[in-house]
Amino acid sequence: MELVAVDIGGTHARFAIATLGNAGAITLDEPVTLHTDDHSSFQTAWEDYKARKGGTLPCDAALAIAGPITEEVIRFTNNPWIIRPALVNAQMGTKRNVIVNDFEAVAHAAAQLSDEHFIHLTGPDMPLAETGTISVIGPGTGLGVAHLRRNADGSHQVTATEGGHIHFAPVDSIEDAILARLRKTHSRVSVERVVSGPGIVEIYHTLAAMDGRAVAEVDDITIWTKGTSGQDSLAAAAVDRFCLALGSAAGDIALAHGGFGGVVIAGGLGYRIRETLKTSGFAQRFTFKGRYQQLMASIPVKIVTHPQPGLLGAAAAFAKTYGPKGN
């Protein structure tokens, strides 16, 4: 069985043809990545992809979307597109579709990926638990969060969440200053405002102000590049501060989920800064939970290395819905 898998974030929309094997294996062809800013709607992006594939696509589709999934109108958190689920088949020319939250899809991928698709970050160097709860977290244009429950019979359930929109909780005076800066433009400051790709800009400018340095406006990509390479000390300090905040957020999410079977860091940003995360204060902040420090230290934390977990997970969600029992 073939279907179109789509992973739509705030910046990019990724498309691939997924093949579902008889034994449950899922393979993807070479993905096509489109910029959301280059298209006025999802439908025009779909038509662009269809043209690139010669004008013919499979009749089934699985969409992973960066935003809450509703029945009538789906609005993206970090891009202006909207999708009306009832019209998807008619607009795209498909017969069946599945629409899931993007990190719901990533959690479906994490449930089926083998150990070779994870690298160890902190905690005990052991595989994710075969049963129990695993938290899946990923910084990108926003901060994605999902809840994965593995059952003793080998099955699993995934719950989409909007955990990236919980309050940002400062731990020290520097984070107090970051919060104060963000409060000037946002009535409420979620953790996503700090722990996301664009959040590095706010961190950078806060640190510059604390040092009394006048700095020009700079984009997040430049800060990430100069910070991870060590070309700029202020950018490097911002990246380090980001890693601390990510560690705090990941630990908070694990506590809220009861994610003691493991924590998975997913998404392109987490993978790109994996070496920086290993040597940063991420681990210290992850376990910095007062009376629960010993419990937090017992949780394995992994980084996903699969290049397209969103696409893989979207296809896996389709298979779970329309597999042998759903045909």
Cα–Cα distance measured from residue 37 to residue 13, given in angstroms and rounded to the nearest whole number: 10
257-275 burial, b at 16+ Cβ within 10 Å, e below that, comes to bebbbbbbbbbbbbbebee
Q: Does 94 share its domain with 190?
A: no
Dist. CA 54–CA 94, nearest whole Å: 16
What's the token pair of residue 160? 């989409």
Clarify whether residues 215 and 227 are in a common domain: yes
pLDDT at 325: 44
| Concatenated DSSP letters of 123-159 | SSSSPPPSSEEEEEEEESSSEEEEEEEE-TTS-EEEE
Q: Same domain for 11 and 73?
A: yes
| Residues 108 and 188 occupy one common structural domain | no
Is residue 143 one of the residues assigned to a domain? no
59 lies in the same domain as 189: no
Tokens linked to 153: 């019979």
Q: Are residue 174 and residue 291 in the same domain, yes or no? A: yes
Which of helix, strand or coil describes residue 14?
strand
Q: What does the pLDDT profile of the chain (327 residues) look like in tens digits?
A: 899 999 998 889 999 999 998 777 899 999 999 999 999 999 999 999 999 999 999 999 999 998 888 889 998 877 889 999 999 999 999 999 999 998 999 999 999 899 999 999 999 999 999 999 999 999 988 899 999 999 999 899 999 899 999 999 999 999 999 999 999 999 999 999 999 999 999 999 999 999 999 999 999 999 999 999 999 999 999 999 999 999 999 999 999 999 999 999 998 899 999 999 999 999 999 999 999 999 999 999 999 999 899 999 999 999 999 874 444
For 290: left if phi > 0, alpha if psi spans -120 to 50, otherwise beta; the answer is left
Tell me whether residue 145 is in a domain.
no
| Cα 45 to Cα 119: distance, rounded to the nearest angstrom | 33
Classify residue 245: in a domain, yes or no: yes
| Cβ–Cβ under 8 Å, residues 142 and 78 | yes
Structural domain contains residue 144: no
Q: Are residues 103 and 196 in the same domain?
A: no
Question: Phi, psi at residue 87, to the nearest 5°?
Answer: -105, -5
- 173 and 279 in a single domain? The answer is yes
- Residues 102, 175: one domain? no
Query: In the chain, how many domains are there?
Result: 2
Domain-located, residue 121: no
**Greatest CA span in the chain, whole angstroms?**
64
Whether 316 maps to a domain, the answer reads yes
Q: Within this chain, do residues 172 and 243 fall inside the same structural domain, yes or no?
A: yes
**Domain span at 313:** 2-113+306-322
Find tokens 């007062």 and name the residue. Answer: 290
Residues 218 and 173 in one domain: yes
Query: Where residue 233 sits, what CATH number does that domain have?
Result: 3.40.367.20
CATH code at position 98:
3.30.420.40
Closest CA to 10 of 142, 136, 107: 142
Q: Using the CB atoms, write b or e for 193-232: b if 16+ within 10 Å.
A: bbbbbbbbbbbbbbbbeeeeeeeeebebeebbebbeeeeb
Structure tokens at 226: 């100069």
Following DSSP, what letter does each residue of 90-124 receive, concatenated? HHHT-SEEEEEEHHHHHHHHHHH--GGGEEEEESS
- Report the pLDDT value the prediction gives residue 44, as an integer from 0 to 100: 95
Cβ-based neighbour number of residue 81 at 10 Å: 21
- According to the model, what pLDDT value does residue 21 have? 86
Q: What pLDDT, on the 0 to 100 scale, is given for residue 9?
A: 86
- Same domain for 197 and 248? yes
